Structure 1
Amino acid sequence: MRRMGKTLRTLLTGACGAALALAGPAAVPARAATPAPGTAWELKNTGTDARFRGLAAVSRATAWAAGTKGTVLLTRDGGTTWRDVSPPGARGLEFRDVEAFDARDAVVLAIGEGEASRILQDGGTTWTETFRNTDPKAFYDCVTFFDRRHGIALGDPVDGRFRLLETHDGGRAWRPLPTAGLPAALSGEAAFAASGQCVVSSGPRDAWIATGGAAVSRVLHSTDRGRTWTATEAPLPAGDPARGVFGLAFRDRAHGLAVGGDYRAGQPSPRAAAATGDGGRAWRTAALPPAAYRSGVAWFPHSRTTALAVGPTGSELTTDGGRTWRTFDTGSYDTVDCAPAAAPGAGCWAAGEKGRIARLVAP
């Protein structure tokens, strides 16, 4: 099982990143290429070629991005300028997730086997390493927060169970969560560290885990901050280490979206998105799905029906809660995030390869 999980991780790192090239025509439904009028990404000049799979939208003006070569960037002026706030000595780390509370406080997660998996807290002025994995079999993927104090981090299965950490002080300290409440992992099952969305939360206690690499794709749901979990099959592509659910987004504890597919170039992903209205107990496949594999998804602020999905071959918009998706951009992005509805001037951002970060321009 660990060998399968390692294969799944390897496919998203190193030279195999080239597999995220443009998918073939077979992956694109005929109607999905119809543009969404007035919606567009506005690329920003970041001055780096790092690949960003970690993204945290604080507002329309403020966003954080975390990626390769230990790079962490921060903007406070809508992307006009970017401040390099990378942790000192972190160039060898591979950041895949960042969770930010404001323009000063953030938590970043680095992936990798053994001690390569780390969590650092604060940012902007100083960074403190608050967790370093010492188990050579463990590999951490994503982190999420329920509020400014409480959060969990997800690791791939070890001895048949996913690994979980919890914090009660905003990421300053982490401790393992019991695994007895987790369902047994399937053969080959793991999480994709592709967009910082393999574990997500909504409200004070609900969290969800996205999985792939096994015979079926699954979404796990907890209502008690990770103590106990239930598992549901998701109708996204499965049966291969390159297939599964790559990203999740919940606008409340009931309504969620799942995206994924098969990220290998030229491989079709005919069911790249699904939606739930009951917290993940049941999922329905999109009637008109995204054009191909998608790795990130986010709900619009102040909307109950509008959301974005992104991947290496383009971006889609849904205005009906995930039933249908329309392509509005063909650029490459790995992750997407929208600021909380309560944030002043809430906005949406996307990030990906070669230093690409963009802010959404919407009608």
Structure 2
Amino acid sequence: MRGLGKTRRTRRTSRMVTVGLCAGALAAVLTAPAQAQGAAEVAAGAPHWELKDSGTDVRFRGLSAVSRNTAWVAGSGGTVLRTGDGGASWRNVSPPGAQDLQFRDIEAFDARRAVVLAIGEGDASRVFRTEDGGATWTESFRNTDAKAFYDCITFFDSRHGLAMSDPVDGKFRILSTSDGGRSWKVLPDEGMPAAQDGEAGFAAGGQCLVSSGSRDVWLATGGGARARVLHSADRGLTWTAADTPIPAGTSARGVFALAFRDRTHGLAVGGDYNPDQASPQAAAYTPDGGRTWKPAAQPPPAYRSGVTWFPHSRTSALAVGPTGTDLTTDGGRTWRTLDTGSYDTVDCAPDLGCWASGEKGRVARLQR
């Protein structure tokens, strides 16, 4: 989204007992009385963020969790880092010559294959792909339309994916790949609803475009009169739009991030990214694939830019933002603050490896 400074997934493990223990610890902490929180946290072994030294101070709004050991982050100055040892060390695998680009989203398939999106007007919007852990990169897309501004990217599987741009000629523009990001084409816009005046996406944490399953994808918007979520069940060919209760009406307000644990149950977070503005209704949830959205009865206390479901959980998820991390254990109906550190985005891998990243080189892994 122009003029915003461009502030702007779930994967199966056999160790289900670990999931149960983690969920139990979270529930124990959240249901304990406030005066007993410290004791409950110790007794339950509550999950908490453990900061990792990334060796840099760039802002990482792009994050992809592969496992507890492997994660990729992407950020300002064309920076891409990768760890394979749980964050103990990080390898700078940035594409050569990309120092003037702003990476805002990265999708990794494993420790060797990843696709990263650079955002910006005109040819600043680009896509790069690596198949060797970042040793080499191939630029697979460079935007040539001055009216386009790409915000987010998502993949249904290792071959099929989409990227989205702010509206061009009154409609959001969708890019499609069927070869793992090696090549891209602009999809026809006949099935895309008209955008509202001022409506766009937020490149805040790589979660304004998310998918679940082999064909369903959702797009989050803000900046218009109403904050909306658009849904496609055919990989981006046709879309429907639904209003959300998250406030909009200015260029700084709307839905910043989405997460779907299946094609039915989803979460939306956002608010107003200006630090001096309140975000009284920063979260919503859907029980019907995004056709309708309900406000959280107890939302996060401030603007949130990232959200993710805990793997294998039907009710637990994390939301992050500059003022903290919040957790829900009832599918997004109520949220409670877990941490007050600053993060822009969050992601969890199938083996319960959950990661967060943000400003000043901050990267953390959830410890249990």
Q: TM-score, normalised by structure 1?
A: 0.90
Aligned partner of 1:313 among 300, 303, 323: 323
Instruction: Answer yes or no: is 1:197 the counterpart of 2:196.
Output: no
Q: Give the match for residue 89 of structure 1.
A: 97
Instruction: Answer yes or no: is 1:334 the counterpart of 2:344.
Output: yes
CA distance in 1, matches of 2:5, 2:311: 34
**8 Å Cα contact 1:44/1:357 also seen in 2:** yes
Q: Deviations over 1:46-88 (max 9, x none)?
A: 0000100000000111000000000000001110010110001
Q: Give the match for residue 324 of structure 1.
A: 334
Q: Which has the higher contact order (CA 8 A, sep 6+)?
A: 1
**8 Å Cα contact 1:65/1:74 also seen in 2:** yes
CA distance in 2, matches of 1:93, 1:125: 18
Structure 1, unaligned runs of 5 or more = 14-30
What letter matches 1:264 in structure 2?
N
**8 Å Cα contact 2:48/2:367 also seen in 1:** yes
What letter matches 2:164 in structure 1?
L
Aligned partner of 1:102 among 84, 97, 110: 110
CA distance in 1, matches of 2:6, 2:105: 18
Aligned positions, number: 335
Aligned partner of 2:157 among 147, 156, 173: 147
CA distance in 2, matches of 1:318, 1:219: 21
Q: Give the match for residue 114 of structure 1.
A: 122
Q: Deviations over 1:139-168 (max 9, x none)?
A: 000000000000000000011011110000
3-state SS in 1 of match to 2:2: helix
Aligned partner of 2:181 among 171, 185, 202: 171
What letter matches 1:82 in structure 2?
W
CA distance in 2, matches of 1:289, 1:6: 27
Instruction: Answer yes or no: is 1:259 the counterpart of 2:269.
Output: yes
3-state SS in 2 of match to 1:354: helix
Residue 265 of structure 1 deviates from its aligned partner by 1.2
**8 Å Cα contact 1:314/1:329 also seen in 2:** yes
Structure 2, unaligned runs of 5 or more = 9-30
What letter matches 1:227 in structure 2?
L
CA distance in 2, matches of 1:231, 1:203: 20
Q: TM-score, normalised by structure 2?
A: 0.89
Instruction: Answer yes or no: is 1:294 the counterpart of 2:285.
Output: no
CA distance in 2, matches of 1:217, 1:261: 10
User: Percentage identity across aligned positions?
Assistant: 70
Instruction: Answer yes or no: is 1:6 the counterpart of 2:2.
Output: yes
Q: Give the match for residue 354 of structure 1.
A: 360
3-state SS in 1 of match to 2:194: coil
Q: Give the match for residue 73 of structure 1.
A: 81
Following TM superposition, the consecutive aligned residue runs of length 4 or more in structure 1 with deviations greater than 4 angstroms are 33-36
**8 Å Cα contact 2:81/2:93 also seen in 1:** yes
3-state SS in 2 of match to 1:129: strand
Correspondence 1:202-281 to 2 at 5 A: 202-281=212-291
Residue 171 of structure 1 deviates from its aligned partner by 0.2
CA distance in 1, matches of 2:292, 2:214: 22
Residue 291 of structure 1 deviates from its aligned partner by 1.3
CA distance in 1, matches of 2:134, 2:253: 36
CA distance in 2, matches of 1:292, 1:127: 38
